[in-house]
């Protein structure tokens, strides 16, 4: 069976690493991006099966990134989940 690929998009490296470690432990391949703009590029290049997307990020937040989904066929294919750091 092919390894499922998950993209984590979050501007906090520590949170990305925490999520990555847990996902890799469960057998997923993980790709990371530090903001929405880079996340959209990673979606186009990596074609992940799922995108975990932080809501609050600089440059392009999770809501704006998600709105680009409608214009990107490769992102339509991926499931999305949003995460947010505690305030």
Domain boundary assignment for the chain: 5-83
Architecture of domain 5-83: 3-Layer(aba) Sandwich (3.40)
pLDDT single digits (tens) 51-74: 888 888 887 877 777 776 555 555
End-to-end CA distance of the chain: 39
- Rounded to two decimals, the pTM is 0.78
pLDDT at 6: 94
Q: Residue 8 forms beta bridges with which residues?
A: 32, 52
As a whole number of angstroms, the distance between CA 46 and CA 40 comes to: 10
């Amino acid at each position: 069976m092919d390894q499922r690929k998950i993209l984590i998009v979050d501007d906090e490296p520590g949170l990305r690493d925490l999520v990555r470690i847990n996902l890799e432990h469960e057998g997923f391949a993980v790709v990371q991006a530090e903001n929405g703009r880079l996340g959209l590029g990673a979606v186009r290049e990596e074609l992940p099966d799922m995108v975990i997307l932080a809501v609050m990020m600089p440059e392009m937040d999770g809501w704006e990134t998600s709105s680009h989904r409608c214009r990107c066929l490769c992102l339509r294919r991926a499931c999305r989940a949003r995460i947010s750091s505690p305030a």
